[in-house]
Structure 1
Amino acid sequence: MSQLVAKAQALANKFVVAARPQLEEFWKYAKVELSPPLPADFQKLKKTAESAKKVSKKDMMKKSGFSQITVSEAWLNVLVTVEVITWFYMGEVIGRRHFVGYKV
């Protein structure tokens, strides 16, 4: 029994040593990416939103709606829309693991 405990401890120690670099990298990025936003971040977000609003208004004034879209741009938009819808439904099928409905 003591040999089994010793082997389990050795295996656990090997696991800890092997996992340490990945965990250190994960924590390094988690401290930055998963931290709550600071008040300065909200100011940057407000400035970015305002500049995006100005740019979109300029673009809308330039193109004036759908009348300025070429046939190739419209066709490209249709193809992108069909691709997004297809990937959505394929994700649903993969998630259900069945083509029609859920297995109950």
Structure 2
Amino acid sequence: MSKLVAQIPSLANRLAAEARPRLNTFVKYAKVELSPPTPADIPQIRAGISKLISGARAGNWKNVTVREAWLNTLITVEVLCWFYVGECIGKRHIVGYDV
């Protein structure tokens, strides 16, 4: 048991050294992906929404591969599940509201 306790500092240092590159990569991407949109991003957002609407009107959804359709379905189910979980947390009950 004393050998294990003596190895804890070296194991902790090794773990920190191995985790540091992955943590740096996470922080690099988190700064970009998790930041809120700036006013300079609004034209790009408008263009994306108008492209989505024009694509829906033109029937571009018919030209989606099975893989893309499956991924879109999974993302939709995930969003709906998180919405349901948020509702359950908000009302503090699984079914119905406490009036």
State TM-score, norm by structure 1.
0.46
TM-score (normalizing by structure 2): 0.48
CA radius of gyration, larger in = 1
